[in-house]
Amino acid sequence: RMGWILLTNDDGIDSPALRPFARALRDLGEVRVVVPDRERSWVGKAITRYHDIEVNRIDDDGFTAWTTSGYPADTAQIGIHGLFEEPPELVVSGINLGYNHGAAFLMSSGTVGAATEGWISGIPAIAVSTGTMTDWHEWRGMAIDVRSQSKWRALSGVTSRLIGELWDDRLPDRCDVVTINIPFEATDETERRHTKVARVGYDQLFERVSDGVFRHSYRGGMRNIEPLDGSDIEAAHDGVISITPLRMPEAVD
């Protein structure tokens, strides 16, 4: 068993994945949960500078967590440095509702942003996301339904065991952040594939709703910059688990 694990996310305290994933990770070590007090998707590695961040402890039927009013990266920072006497041995961020694959989406992800704070602090970090390549809104409606908790428990077990194997193999020590994109219906037998990050972009993110007012309204469009061969997005299309070791920004040769 490893030392304690910091579990965070960007979907917040009400994420349907949070409690089953926290329970599953206990097989690997002590788990301390520090998450945003609301959903904080699409914020990347934003840090709060000009406002105080409030932290509250929640104790509910054997489940203990700390919530913050900040962004996911704030939350990871506070979990690593501010709340406990010693830092975690591993930072795990997720399980995110929706894949975080492809460069444009990876860089926008609060889930990956929180994990990146682990690397910045010298701590191994893993970001985990799940999703579908079918209709996103239909899938999300199913995933947040309380009747899907058994599926989240199954996925959490599969994911925890995978993290344990990656930890034993020391993969988090050989890169900066490991990002995992795992199909919602994955089992222990689902194929695993080490991938690269697809070089993709997106187009318009905001729509005009009135004079001088725009609203986030991403409709799923994607712009391929390079072929998807060997990428995390190709793995999702193939229905396999994508494991992508990340090296934080480096200059090209």
Q: 170-219 pLDDT, tens per residue?
A: 988 899 999 999 999 999 999 999 999 999 998 888 999 999 999 999 87
- Is the model's pLDDT at 253 over the cut of 80? no
Mean pLDDT of the chain: 95
**d(C-alpha 198, C-alpha 209), whole Å:** 32
pLDDT tens digits, residue range 52-73? 999 999 999 889 999 999 999 9
Distance between CA atoms of residues 131 and 123, nearest Å: 27
154 class by beta-carbon count within 10 Å (0-12 exposed, 13-18 middle, 19+ buried): middle
Nearest-10 Cα torsion for 186, 136, 129, 142 = -60
72-113 confidence digits (pLDDT tens): 999 999 999 999 999 999 999 999 999 999 999 999 999 999
Is pLDDT above 70 for 27? yes
Mean pLDDT over 134-149 rounds to: 93
DSSP character for 147? G
Residues 137, 77: Cα–Cα separation, whole Å: 31
Domains of the chain: 5-246 (3.40.1210.10)
HSE-up of residue 211 (Cα within 13 Å, Cβ side): 0
Which residue blocks in the chain are alpha helix, DSSP H? 18-25, 72-77, 103-108, 110-120, 136-143, 149-168, 232-237
Average pLDDT of the residues in 241-248: 95
For residues 117 and 76, is the Cβ–Cβ distance under 8 A? yes
Task: Give me the amino acid identity at 100.
Answer: N
CB–CB of 20/156 below 8 Å? yes
